[in-house]
Amino acid sequence: MSSLLIGGGMTTHAFASGLTSLGRVEVVSLMKTKSVQQTPIKGVVKDAATGQGITGVSVKVKGSSTGTSTDENGAFTVQGKVGDVLVVSYIGYKSTEVTVSSKADLAISLSGSEDALEEVVVTGYSAQRKKDLTGAVAVVNVKELKTTPAASAVEALQGRATGVQIVVDGAPGSTPQIKIRGYSTINNNEPLYIIDGVPYEGKLSWLNQNDIETMQVLKDASAASIYGSRANNGVVIITTKIGKSGKPQFNLDSYYGIQVPNSGRFPKMLSPQQTLDIENRLDGTNNVMPDYLIAGPKVGGKDVITAADVDMSKYKYDASSRSDFYQITKANKAGTNWFDALSQNAPTQSHQLSVLGGGEDASYAISGGYLKQKGTIIHTGFEKYNLRSNTRFSAFNNKLRFGENMQYSFTEGFGMGVNTNTAGDYIGEGSALGFAYRIHNIIPVYDEGGNFAGSVGGQYGNGENPVAIAYRAKDNKNKSNMFFGNVFGEFDIVSGLTFRSSFGMKYENYNGVSYTYPNPEFTEGSFNNGINEFFGLNKEWTWTNTLNYKKTFNEAHTLSILAGTEAIQNRNRQIRGKGNGFFTMSSLDYLYLDAASTGRVSEGSGSVGSLFSVFGKVDYSYKDRYILSATVRRDGSSNFGPNNKYGTFPGASAAWRLSEEEFMKGISWLSDLKIRAGYGVTGNQRIPANQYLNRYQVAINSSSYPIDGSLTSGMWHNAYSNPDVKWEQVSALNLGVDFTLAQGDFDGSFDWYNKKTKDMLYLLPLPAVAAGRAGSPYVNIGDMQNKGIEFSLNYHYGRRQESAFKLDLSATISRNVNKIVSLAPSVTQQVYGSFRSMETSILKPGEPLGAFYGYKVIGIYSEADMNNASVAKYEDGKSRAGGLKFADVNGDGKIDANDRTVIGSPHPDFVYSFNINAAYKNFDFMAYFYGSKGNQNYEATRYFTDFGVFRGQKSTRVLDEWSPTNSGSMIPSQVRNASAYEYASSSYYVQDASFLKLKNLQVGYNFDTNKVFGSNTGIKKLRAYVGVTNLFTITKYEGLDPEVTATPSTYPALGVDFGVYPQARQYMLGVSLGF
Amino acid sequence: MKKRNIITVLGISLTLLASCGKSFLERDPQAELPESQIVNSKGIEASLIGAYGILNGNVNGTWGNYSSAPSQWLFGEVAGDNAHKGSEATDQPNMNMIEFHTPNSSNDNLSQMWEVYYEGVLRANNTLRILKADQAGGKTVTAARAKEIEGEARVLRAHYYFYLWRVFKNLAYVDENTTDDEAKTKPNKDDVLPKIIDDLKAGIANLPATKINSQAGRMDQNIAKAYLGKVYLYQKKYADALVLFKEVIGAKDLRTMPYQNNFNVLTKDGPEALLVSKHVINPDGSGDNANVGDMLSGLNGSNPVGCCGFYQPTIDLVNAYKVDANGLPLLDGSYRNNPYKSDFGLSDDAKKAYKLDVTLRFDPRLDYTVGRRGVNFYDYGVMPGDAWIREVSSGGPFVGIKTMIPKSLHATHTASGAAYITDLDVNIIRLADVVLMAAECQVELGDLGAAMNLVNAVRERAAKLPPKTTGDNVAAAVYVVKPYTSFPDQNYARKAVRFERRLELAMEGHRFYDLVRWGEAKTVLESYATFEGGFMSRYKGLNYKPQNDYFPIPQSQIDRSGGALTQNQGY
């Protein structure tokens, strides 16, 4: 029966029917005809698809108050007579009316509902009809989601649900940055995932997008508070595909694509000659470009390089020291385009095979997949193998149901920084992309001997060859073996009362290696070599027990009560080994730590944590008209000390279906209208362990001293305590409207919310007088607010009209306004995001998280300004005509550190998406736009390209530099010895990064398999499609990609662009085969 | 049946609840120690070592520890007239602001200095705190050892406070009796010098005259005495200071201790060493405990070091090493006449044709302090000029040498892959420093003869330096340094002693603090800026203000204290 089809972590029946609603099944009404007088009428209600009995189905005699509901076998008995009409209804199924035509037992078959409102969604330990939702729950159209090829399911979620903002970058297997309804905390904003009922925190690149059956995002606290202390950032509930009764159904999905770097967006740089012209002008010199940059110890432009110096017999790249090294490099007078050199067309492919099937008391779903994506930055890529199985069994007349979900996934990222654990990990001035901005373009990629050329000699700055960085990282690997799954059993104790127990396990075994090659061509390079290897495991078990009672009283009152406990324990353990001084780096086969001659070191670390919770939930509805839901959860966490170990998180919500009221019945264009209100409290406990204790550390690097010449280990107080540390809390109010108009042609929803974070877990840095350089503890201080609105509107044409042309349009728009309400009383502001001499970002009450911070540019100093004492000048006395003119914010007549102010925000005013799905006969078409409006990026790369900080490339922007004759320009004139104020953090770096992207465009064709393969074919479905992703981007932003993930820092430095891994355009060809 | 099932379920739930009780939610720190583990002899000794660990101005890591370097090169030398920041003009702009005396409170070099040395203070405090707890309870440390530990920790604390005081002047004083909560909002209104003096006196009383366990890095009585004398000197308590300096010098004869041994990784812990920051390359080859504070001075360009090219000697300093026919320095400032500036400012062809003039008369300490074109630089070969300099136009034609070590020692005395991170110890107080401080005291106390004898000891030692050579293996200059024959008056004597101090200790982190101490910072630095600005215009036009004698309190620290810390006057 259908309850076999339970997904982990949700109640039986509802989910099963939800599943059925997705499959199309025929209504098979088996009726017998003979009429009799009032008498018990017996029957069985079964699922049309699975043939299993359905429990709890409402069976009413039309026009009377008589009614009942089915038992655990789907059987019912009701008083009636031949000729009566029985109304049979159950959530997730099409209601049906059956005329009693004989005394014989009825066999009633219910088929899944096609009505979107009847769709059943999982919302936390239980499931509901979409129409009964009282909280803000975004139900993701998984079918549409899957049309966007992505290594990570989260990446594809972009724009698919209102209120969910995702920033992705182009790195294969990258970890997108996801936030739900804004930043609720200054800490980690990743949501909690519930996969088949098992909570999961972390990146999701191991999960196969194709295995996802449903995805719901619990956005507001009333919906999420059942997940209590980990739900502050929202909860994403994922269920995976499960088996169906019937013959095995095989499905093969494959695509192949080519990613093409968007070279049109590469930054434009001056040619070496143009750069030299500027330098000559500034220095009053007449230097010409040298023919050679380096020949052994002689450097072009400083020394005379003779023919004898460039004798290739002297060339020695493979040296062991500077003095031994002899490189000969010609100048690339045409200029190297480092971005071109770093980019490539990259293939991507994905193949998935799945089989679903089952019988009376068992079902199964098994799938396997392979994905390989090369990166458009050379020598990067990602590969994933995954295998999934779930099986369901039932026994004792379906009173006992049990099964398992299991996934195993092997992922491997290779190359520079790919597949990191934090969004943006590989962005930074020292990354290949960072150096592509910075290295001088007179330097060629390769020298005369075919080895990498570089900045050695120092006369052309200190950029490192980014192609060399990428090449040398080509064998760096980051691998993970992830096992994730659960076993569960549930038992119907009495009708309506179900006990369920689920034991989930995550076991990740990860390892990686990175190689250090000598980089002698780099002016700050070394001859060192080495490897760095790590192994580790992440283990987490979750044991969940729930009791669920469901009953309908008097056919009008539906009550569902859930109570449960959950225990979670996790452990992480890692070992790392390093070594250097390898005899050779020429063969990976040689590179094991045993072969390291020097610097062998081993390190290890670990963490443990546990959580224990009790929770309860009550859902009540009256005639589908008034719906109430209340939840409460009490969590205890090992992260907190005896003073505050436990936290309680309540939530309540209600909905009123106006369209069910008599006074609304007459409105023909209104099919359904529901208003919702919810309020709830959620928590956050994602902080490092043991903050409530003072901790001391013995560490070679930070507490040792060579007291007798050799290193002696000592100890230091490395972490200060806050015994009172407790839960961070979000309390949120949500008001919403769901509507369906014109017989389902239009539907949509609107939500308004106000989310307040209090007792924010804040890594409040203590003054050094109290804590020195040691770690400060988290304290609960500071408030943050997110207010927003979300609107989605869908239009459907074709299905109701039974037209050959079908069209679905959907548009979403989400606006979130983030504001830090207060920090600690002692903290008026916190400046962070240190990058060389800049500090890019700030936490300040009244401003959004990560607002950009610096001097506000109000123009360029003119000669007149310089002679006008009333125009504020830099405090260092080095202002000049042609330099940036800043606002004298405090009005003291001079520009100094006190004039820094908020200069921009990385947060968009709103994000929006537009999706077109159309089908005509065998053709289908899909286009998907995603946009963000009003967000700004901090284009930190301008530090190097616009201000001449370090000798390197210059942006073509400087061609428009200010001059007395070009006084309208906002580009400072080029200068030597600029005041540090000129290139300090200022609004010059802050750029509008609004964008609109055509994320995906796809055309498919469904072949008539009988025509193609003949009528005896076993092939049931064949669809082929062509698509292109990231076809265009409309933006004014001049960086590589307007989508910039946060740079890791104490607090996330949002939108700070040091050179992101840009998203590529991808052309793809795919096929989907069913048999 | 049904009832029984319900009971079963409840039973399971209760068992579950019970099993997930208190202990399930208690987790001990991983790879860290709770307080209960450290109050014992082992913990106290380890904490003391941790307190020594800040002598190198670094908690961990290599990059970023520049301003807190034990050498104090940035505040002590770049802020003075001995050194340029170097590198490129736009590199480390916050250091430019230190160099040009336009620092603002957001300068990361200031917060680095403040945080690291307060970390040192807290480590000393923690050692004293747990020592006290042990002595009041378990007494796992013997009384004799407890006395020594107290002495060691208090001298360390004195040193850390003194370093902070020189830079910031107005400090918040915390000791082992201060609670964490008090420390968070402690105002910076304490006069810390008396507390420093107390600590140093305790050091003198508690520490043995010889090194504990013969461990070269340990504090001893001589160090405490020299340091206390130095603090007295800063307070102009010349008589008190002199007594201590005389005790430290004792019968030691500087002339028997080669000058160059002070900057040689093979002759660490020599007889001249008093307080040093000891450095070592970690067993794994990493550099956290090495001389990371001075790493940026690693030479740039085509030489065996390959680093960053910071910390370049000034033209003014180089010329100060000129001597007259009598082998005496040009105290009247005439050393700036007809300045020697290597190949600086020559046109391309003239530069290529440049040849070192070996007939110039120089104090030999010049070439043990400065690398200049045409002179052999350790075993790197002849210093080629611009090819070793990152940006001559802003940094000048010279490079430093005191922080560098011979190429032949790179393999064994530098961090792996980073020849600019060496295990060279850094002198914080060495005997010549004490001798010259004693000379200052004698001058101010009016015993000019004694002062001259002390200065002459330094000069006679310098005269023993072997000549440096050119590529042609001839002496790179006419090296001559001779003792003074008379100090005609106190003013002359004062000038001579101060000039000697500059020559002997140049690039060792004393200069700016000395100028401030002498009240000469404004006149000397403005005059220097005019002279140096004649070559590199960025140095022109210094307007040295009274508040430039000290630096602003880091704004980030004021913020963190909730305003309990207040900004120094003038900033």
Report pLDDT digits (tens) over A407-457: 999 999 888 865 455 544 566 777 888 899 999 999 999 999 999 999 988
**Which residue of A279, A539, A715 to mutate against B (max B Cβ within 10 Å)?**
A715
Q: Average pLDDT of chain A? A: 86
B419: closest chain A residue by CA: A526
Q: What is the pLDDT of residue A31?
A: 39
Q: What is the pLDDT of residue B225?
A: 98
B403, pLDDT greater than 80: yes
Contact B216 A708 (CB under 8 A): yes
Residue A803 exposure: Cα atoms within 13 Å on the Cβ side: 12
Q: A686-742 pLDDT, tens per residue?
A: 889 999 999 999 999 999 999 998 999 999 999 999 999 999 999 999 999 999 888
- CA distance, residue A400 to nearest chain B CA (Å): 13
- Indicate the pLDDT class of residue A126, thresholds 50, 70 and 90: confident
A288 shares contact with chain B (CB less than 8 Å): no
B317 contacts B365 by C-beta, under 8 angstroms: no
- Both tokens of residue A1066? 């991808």
A537 φ/ψ angles, rounded to the nearest 5 degrees: -135, 145
Give the DSSP per-residue string, A1006-1051: EE-HHHHH-TT----EEEEEEEEEEEEEEE---SS-S--PPBPSSS
Q: What is the pLDDT of residue B451?
A: 97
C-alpha span between B419 and B294 (Å, rounded): 12
- Indicate the pLDDT class of residue A17, thresholds 50, 70 and 90: very low
The average pLDDT across A544-570 equals: 90
B269 contacts B216 by C-beta, under 8 angstroms: yes
A496, pLDDT greater than 60: yes
A602 contacts B287 by C-beta, under 8 angstroms: no
The average pLDDT across A11-38 equals: 38
Q: What is the pLDDT of residue B369?
A: 97
Which SS3 state, helix, strand or coil, does residue A221 take?
Answer: helix
Intra-chain end-to-end CA distance of chain B, in Å: 83
The amino acid present at A665, given as its one-letter code, is: K
Contact B9 A499 (CB under 8 A): yes
Q: A771-823 pLDDT, tens per residue?
A: 999 999 999 988 999 999 999 999 988 877 778 898 999 999 999 999 999 88
- CA distance, residue A950 to nearest chain B CA (Å): 7
A10, pLDDT greater than 90: no
A942 contacts A958 by C-beta, under 8 angstroms: no
Q: What is the pLDDT of residue A820?
A: 92
A328 contacts A310 by C-beta, under 8 angstroms: yes
Q: B85-99 pLDDT, tens per residue?
A: 999 888 898 999 999
| Complex confidence, ipTM | 0.94
Q: What is the pLDDT of residue B506?
A: 97
The average pLDDT across A881-897 equals: 93
- Does residue A540 come out as left (phi exceeding 0), alpha (psi in the -120 to 50 range) or beta? beta
The average pLDDT across B208-212 equals: 94
Q: What is the pLDDT of residue A14?
A: 34
Q: What is the pLDDT of residue A774?
A: 95
- Indicate the pLDDT class of residue A18, thresholds 50, 70 and 90: very low
Strongest mean pLDDT among A48-57, A58-67, A325-334: A325-334
User: What residues of chain B, 436 to 495, have a C-beta less than 8 Å from chain A?
Assistant: none
Q: H/E element holding A438? A: helix A432-438
B11, pLDDT greater than 60: no
- CA distance, residue B562 to nearest chain A CA (Å): 4
The average pLDDT across A10-31 equals: 34
Q: Spell out the residues 6+ positions from residue A143 whose beta carbon is closer than 8 angstroms to its own.
A: none
User: What residues of chain A, 982 to 1041, have a C-beta less than 8 Å from chain B?
Assistant: 983-984
Find the range with the poorest average confidence among A45-59, A308-322, A430-444, A876-890: A45-59
B152, pLDDT greater than 80: yes
Sign of CA pseudo-dihedral A424, A425, A429, A432: negative
What are the CA-CA distances from residue A261 to residues A188, A346, A1041, A1058, B353 (Å)? 31, 8, 11, 18, 50
- CA distance, residue A555 to nearest chain B CA (Å): 25
B562, pLDDT greater than 90: no
B555, pLDDT greater than 70: yes
Q: What is the pLDDT of residue A418?
A: 57
Q: B421-473 pLDDT, tens per residue?
A: 999 999 999 999 999 999 999 999 999 999 999 999 999 999 999 999 999 99
A837 shares contact with chain B (CB less than 8 Å): yes
B126 contacts A720 by C-beta, under 8 angstroms: no
Sign of CA pseudo-dihedral B166, B169, B172, B176: positive
Residue, of B1 and A843, whose pLDDT is higher: A843
The average pLDDT across A156-163 equals: 79
Q: B471-529 pLDDT, tens per residue?
A: 999 999 999 999 999 999 999 999 999 999 999 999 999 999 999 999 999 999 999 99
A1061, pLDDT greater than 90: no
Contact A605 B407 (CB under 8 A): no
- Indicate the pLDDT class of residue A994, thresholds 50, 70 and 90: very high
Residues of chain A with pLDDT > 70, as a percent, come to: 93
- Both tokens of residue B396? 């000048």
Alpha helices in B214-347 (DSSP H): 221-234, 238-249, 315-320
User: What residues of chain A, 455 to 514, have a C-beta less than 8 Å from chain B?
Assistant: 456-458, 491, 493-494, 497, 499, 501
What are the CA-CA distances from residue B361 to residues B266, B378, B457, B503 (Å)? 30, 21, 21, 15
The average pLDDT across A205-229 equals: 84
Which SS3 state, helix, strand or coil, does residue B96 take?
Answer: helix
Beta bridge partners of B282: none
Q: Average pLDDT of chain B? A: 93
Q: What is the pLDDT of residue A92?
A: 61
Residues of chain B with pLDDT > 70, as a percent, come to: 96
Q: Spell out the residues 6+ positions from residue B541 whose beta carbon is closer than 8 angstroms to its own.
A: A877, B529, B533
- CA distance, residue A834 to nearest chain B CA (Å): 9
Contact A614 B418 (CB under 8 A): no
Q: A637-658 pLDDT, tens per residue?
A: 999 999 899 999 999 999 998 8
Chain A neighbors of B46, CB-CB under 8 A: 698, 703, 713-715
A833, pLDDT greater than 60: yes
Rounded (10°) CA dihedral B551, B552, B557, B558? 150
- Indicate the pLDDT class of residue A876, thresholds 50, 70 and 90: confident
- Indicate the pLDDT class of residue B201, thresholds 50, 70 and 90: very high
B11 shares contact with chain A (CB less than 8 Å): no
A1038, pLDDT greater than 70: yes
A1063, pLDDT greater than 60: yes
- CA distance, residue A689 to nearest chain B CA (Å): 7
B43 contacts B64 by C-beta, under 8 angstroms: no
Q: What is the pLDDT of residue A114?
A: 55
- Both tokens of residue B192? 């810390």
C-alpha span between A688 and A775 (Å, rounded): 11
- Indicate the pLDDT class of residue A13, thresholds 50, 70 and 90: very low
A323: closest chain B residue by CA: B304
Q: What is the pLDDT of residue B9?
A: 55
Q: What is the pLDDT of residue A962?
A: 94
Contact A321 B96 (CB under 8 A): no
Q: H/E element holding A362? A: strand A362-374
B187: closest chain A residue by CA: A769
- Indicate the pLDDT class of residue A1036, thresholds 50, 70 and 90: very high
Q: What is the pLDDT of residue B278?
A: 96
Contact B25 A605 (CB under 8 A): no
CA Rg value for chain B: 27
Q: A165-189 pLDDT, tens per residue?
A: 887 778 887 777 788 888 888 888 8
Strongest mean pLDDT among A132-136, A894-898, B52-56: B52-56
A882 contacts A868 by C-beta, under 8 angstroms: no
The average pLDDT across A937-966 equals: 91
A19, pLDDT greater than 70: no
- Indicate the pLDDT class of residue A320, thresholds 50, 70 and 90: confident
B559 contacts B368 by C-beta, under 8 angstroms: no
B56 φ/ψ angles, rounded to the nearest 5 degrees: -85, 10
Chain B neighbors of A705, CB-CB under 8 A: 49-50, 52-53, 55-56, 217, 278, 289
Residues of chain A with pLDDT > 90, as a percent, come to: 49
A537 shares contact with chain B (CB less than 8 Å): no
A477, pLDDT greater than 50: yes
B10, pLDDT greater than 60: no
User: What residues of chain A, 233 to 272, have a C-beta less than 8 Å from chain B?
Assistant: none
A699 shares contact with chain B (CB less than 8 Å): yes
- CA distance, residue B186 to nearest chain A CA (Å): 8
Closest CA to A993 of A265, A461, A460: A265
The average pLDDT across A327-343 equals: 94
Q: Label the pairing between strands A894-895 and A873-874.
A: parallel
